[in-house]
Amino acid sequence: MEKPANLSNKVLQCIQKRRSCRKFTAQAVEDYKVESLLKAALWAPTSKNNRPWHFVVVDNPQLLGKLSECKPHGSAFLAEAPLAIVVLADPSKSDVWVEDCAIAAILMQITAEDLGLGSTWIQIRQRMYNEKETAGDYIKKLINAPAGLEVASIIALGYKEKERAPYSEEYLLPERVHRNKF
């Protein structure tokens, strides 16, 4: 990439700076920031404008503790997070609810970065709680979600305990970009 990216572009700066954060300070996330995160999700584009998703804001420490046990790996740190947003959807409303949920989730992560917050995506769809129960079914019981909904992910959020280095220009993989053909 010959020309350096336009770093005066705030959205691009947030995309470059965003790194998964799994350790948060004890500081609660202010309501106005939670509202901004939800606006980012609710303004997300969806196929045919179906908007099949729901978002459950969780700030109850006991509930966060229970959610952190939703799968054997990759969710334990949620027990110490001040905030989580569970992303779920009604598959009967859209055949591409997975994509719709993913777009809303990443827009929340980018917005979190802009708000000075850290975040991490916790994968739920296709993950198991134990040998018999899916992580999604375990979560749905905890948050009283209707049976017909499917949980896509949980976004863990909070103030970062430590700032991680942003991505560098060297991290880019220009060879993965093809012009007109491979």
Ligand X SMILES: Cc1cc2nc3c(=O)[nH]c(=O)nc-3n(C[C@H](O)[C@H](O)[C@H](O)COP(=O)(O)O)c2cc1C
* 93: contact with ligand X by CB under 6 A: no
Looking at the DSSP bridge assignments, the partners of residue 4 are: none
Rounded least distance, CB 23 to ligand X, Å? 11
Rounded CA separation 173/23 (Å): 28
Asked if 129 and 138 count as a contact pair (C-beta separation under 8 A), the reply is yes
* 120: contact with ligand X by CB under 6 A: yes
Binding residues among 64-83 for ligand X as defined by CB under 6 A: 74
Binding residues among 1-60 for ligand X as defined by CB under 6 A: 19-20, 22
Rounded least distance, CB 139 to ligand X, Å? 13
Rounded least distance, CB 13 to ligand X, Å? 15
Tokens encoding 56: 């459950």
Rounded CA separation 12/14 (Å): 5
Q: Which of 122, 145, 149, 157 binds ligand X (CB under 6 A)?
A: 122
How many other C-beta atoms can be found within 10 angstroms of the C-beta atom of residue 91?
A: 14
Rounded CA separation 47/141 (Å): 28
Please choose, out of 23-31, 115-123, 133-141, 170-178, the segment that lies near ligand X by the rule CB under 6 A.
115-123
Please choose, out of 28-36, 120-128, 135-143, 169-177, the segment that lies near ligand X by the rule CB under 6 A.
120-128
DSSP 92-107: GG-TTHHHHHHHHHHH
Interface with ligand X (CB under 6 A): 19-20, 22, 74, 120-123
